[in-house]
Amino acid sequence: MKAITRRAAAIATALGLATASLAAHAEGQIRIAQQFGIVYLLLNVAQEQKLIEKHAKAAGIDAKVEFLQLSGGSAVNDALLSGSIDIGGAGVGPLFTLWDRTKGRQNVKGVASLGNFPYYLVTNNPNVKSIADFSEKDRIALPAVGVSVQSRVLQMASAKLWGDKEFAKLDKISVALPHPDAAAAIIKGGTEISGHFGNPPFQEQELAGNPNARIVLNSYDVLGGPASATVLYATEKFRAENPKTYKAFVAALDEAAEFVRAKPEQAADIYLKVSGAKTDRALLLKIIRNPEVQFKTEPQNTLVLGQFMHRVGAIKNQPQSVKDYFFDDAVGAQAN
């Protein structure tokens, strides 16, 4: 009888844990990690206008949405794998890293793009005209060394200049630093940070705030054209167990993209409100209206970076198509 009682208690405990686990991932609950910059504008709009809640309500569920602020693809990836978040927002480089690590297990894949943005490597060192001019005395700030999309694009540019064996040549002078801190260092000058591979609006602030600041590298030039640098991704389990929430999230992103394209001034105001940034409004509008910037959720020109990462041994699995690392419903006719 004691054995039976112990077994019954164990089963009850297991069922209780299972129920708690299911409750923690019930339909309508979604935790989203974002980082810094206007590249996360679609999430800012969705948050301020409660678009996820709106589309979830239409599907018959009450959504509980939580937005978390992190810095760097490594932090986002760790949070996703630990179950601390459900949707990760980071560069396409971190997506490839996690897709490769979880293939056949958690199966992390892309949910959507946050748009096409040119990322600039900016320097305030007058002696640096190209990446070949950086020396041991320089330090290049970026979100995560060897992981972030900025780091991967810099590696790709290094491979083109010095050959694949030297793809990580500039990693040794790269340092992980949040974009706001790196931008402040470039604008102020006089610190060991002489380069920053950032994103909007920080790169534009640097160019406007320091007369010595100049663009050394444009991600579009390295990748061969406009590209989805920042993306959202999730585990296969979350998508499968929360179909209504997942679809509501994707629908909210699409509506947010339409809003930004149609109402750039209101979108700029939302960014300032949600982010709490002190960015000049006119500068924000210039970025949003930049013809090189495209607010859309379909990924574009991402495969080239993944194939480079495989070629140099950064990931084990070789992506053959965008369908390998993005969920099917995220891939339209123009995705690549």
pTM of the model: 0.86
Which residue ranges make up each domain of the chain?
A: 2-116+228-330, 120-223
CA distance 109 to 102: 9
Q: pLDDT tens, position by position, for the chain (336 residues)?
A: 344 444 444 434 444 444 344 444 579 999 999 998 999 999 999 999 999 999 999 999 999 999 999 988 889 999 999 999 999 999 999 999 999 999 999 999 999 999 999 999 999 999 999 999 999 999 999 998 998 899 999 999 999 999 999 999 999 999 999 999 999 999 999 999 999 999 999 999 999 999 999 999 999 999 999 999 899 999 999 999 999 999 999 999 999 999 999 999 999 999 999 999 889 999 999 999 999 999 999 999 999 999 999 999 999 999 999 999 999 988 876 777
Q: What letter does residue 127 receive in the DSSP assignment?
A: T
pLDDT at 94: 92
pLDDT at 251: 97
Beta bridge partners of 32: 67, 87
pLDDT at 19: 39
Closest among 91, 289, 122 to 210, alpha carbons compared: 122
DSSP string, 318-330: PP-SHHHHB-GGG
E strands in the chain: 29-34, 64-69, 87-91, 109-113, 120-123, 139-142, 174-176, 193-197, 214-218, 230-234
Query: Is the four-CA dihedral 91, 94, 95, 96 of positive or negative sign?
Result: positive
- SS3 of residue 133 by DSSP: helix
CA distance 258 to 255: 5
Q: What CATH fold (topology level) applies to the domain 120-223?
A: D-Maltodextrin-Binding Protein; domain 2 (3.40.190)
Closest among 108, 121, 129, 86 to 236, alpha carbons compared: 108
Domain 2-116+228-330 has CATH 3.90.260.10: no
pLDDT at 333: 63
- SS3 of residue 298 by DSSP: coil
Residue pair 46/52 in contact (Cβ under 8 Å)? The answer is yes
CA distance 37 to 143: 12
pLDDT at 336: 77
The torsion angle over the Cα atoms of residues 335, 301, 291 and 260, rounded to 10 degrees, is 50
Q: Tell which phi-psi region holds residue 238, choosing left (phi > 0), alpha (psi between -120 and 50) or beta.
A: alpha
Residue pair 271/38 in contact (Cβ under 8 Å)? The answer is yes
Indicate if 120-223 has the same CATH topology as 2-116+228-330.
yes
